[in-house]
Amino acid sequence: MMNEWHLLLTPLAVLAVFVLFRFVGCSSFTSADPVTAAYDVAVGADAPVSYWRLQEPAGATTAKDERGLGNGTYDKAASPLAAGAPALKSTAVNPTVVETGVAGPPPLLNLLAGEPPELSMRVRGGFVKVPFAGPLNPPEFTLEAVVFPEWDLSKKGSFFCVIESSSPLATEPAKAKKLGYALYAGPDNPADPSSPYHWQFWVGNGTAFVRLKTKLPLAHPGPNENGEINPGPAVGPVPTYLAATYSATEAFLFVYDENRDWDFVKYELDHQTYKAAGLADLFIGISGPTRRALFSPPGPNQFLYPFNGRLAEVAVYGKVLSEPQIVSHMGSAFHR
């Protein structure tokens, strides 16, 4: 059996499986665990439907889709961007900002000597808008991004959109969104503004737009070998890799930064039915003007939930990435 594995696995796959075993244990990467594949190479090898690196230089207006399906447009909401009623749980921004060609500090990815810096976009009311395309709304999928939050994490109660493709029902265009998917940061308990910020995966089930909650009890609650308790998918002020996977039977959220133990990376979510958005543009960095609020009442048709920070390496896959694939992306992002 072991000989068969040695014959079948490439060196990178061996590394991914090795890391995967550490994923379910308590260890983490060390300087002795290099990953040689550049991040964009690792992503490209797994064939996303669309892949917006958001690496355009300062002043760019077009966000290139590396896969050629749909380029996006950099834009920003008009200043000032109102938060709306407190029930909307959005933030006000004045002035609104979209900056391209931002290199940091900190760098979003770890690079080898001599490689060009990892560029990103910085937004506070800015966004990328991608025209609707059916392949961006598949029945099973993976969403992926590298992000750096820049808002004050001590100021609780708001939601921040990473990526969203959502819509109301075609028969109810003036009502709340009930279709699609989204990645957010927001209070773990929306009813408690003092609850900590967690990364969140939302889907439309045809009746409502709902968060897929972290399944409890956690598979690895801790403490780990360092005495740390599993923080859940908590938001930290550090460059962070995010991935969400959805299939007909399972959904998972992956959250990784260099401070996390491997036991505190993978979170199984309570599964709900997902129904794809219809004829809706995809937005990166904000919830688009016809998407409506996450909470009742549905709220005005305005931009909501602006991300505050840097975004890069956004990808949508028309399939569920395997755990070794996701782990190899994490390694390429932070351990080269």
Q: 292-319: buried (b, 16+ CB within 10 Å) or exposed (e) per residue?
A: bbbbeebbeebbbbbbbbbbbbbbbbbb
- Extract the tokens encoding 156: 């609780």
H/E stretch holding 76: strand 72-76
Residue-level pLDDT at 95: 97
Residue-level pLDDT at 227: 92
Q: Would you tell me how many other CB atoms lie within 10 Å of the CB of residue 41?
A: 11
In this structure, are residues 74 and 130 in contact, taking their beta carbons and an 8 Å threshold? no
- Domain residue limits at 19: 2-334
Indicate the number of domains in the chain. 1
In this structure, are residues 85 and 304 in contact, taking their beta carbons and an 8 Å threshold? no
- Extract the tokens encoding 160: 């921040």
Give percent helix, percent strand, percent coil of the chain, each to the nearest 5: 15, 30, 55
Residue-level pLDDT at 86: 87
DSSP assigned state of 287: B
Residue-level pLDDT at 300: 67
In this structure, are residues 38 and 333 in contact, taking their beta carbons and an 8 Å threshold? no
Residue-level pLDDT at 42: 96
Question: Which of 191, 332, 193, 323 lies closest to 267 in space, CA to CA?
Answer: 323
DSSP assigned state of 213: P
In angstroms, the CA 298 to CA 175 distance is 7
H/E stretch holding 244: strand 240-246
Structure-token match 């989204």, residue found: 182
Model pTM greater than 0.75? yes
In angstroms, the CA 267 to CA 288 distance is 28
Residue 305 CA from chain centroid, whole number: 14
- Extract the tokens encoding 324: 């070794």
CATH number at residue 180: 2.60.120.200
pLDDT in tens, the chain (336 residues): 333 323 333 344 334 433 443 444 333 333 335 566 899 999 999 999 999 999 999 999 999 999 999 999 999 999 999 998 888 999 999 999 999 999 989 999 998 888 888 999 999 999 999 999 999 999 999 999 999 999 999 999 999 999 999 999 999 988 889 999 999 999 999 989 889 999 999 999 999 999 999 999 999 999 998 899 999 999 999 999 999 999 999 999 999 999 999 999 999 999 999 999 999 999 999 999 877 899 877 666 789 999 999 999 999 999 999 999 999 999 999 988
9 contacts: CB under 8 Å, gap ≥ 6: 17
Residue-level pLDDT at 296: 79
Coil, strand or helix at 229: coil
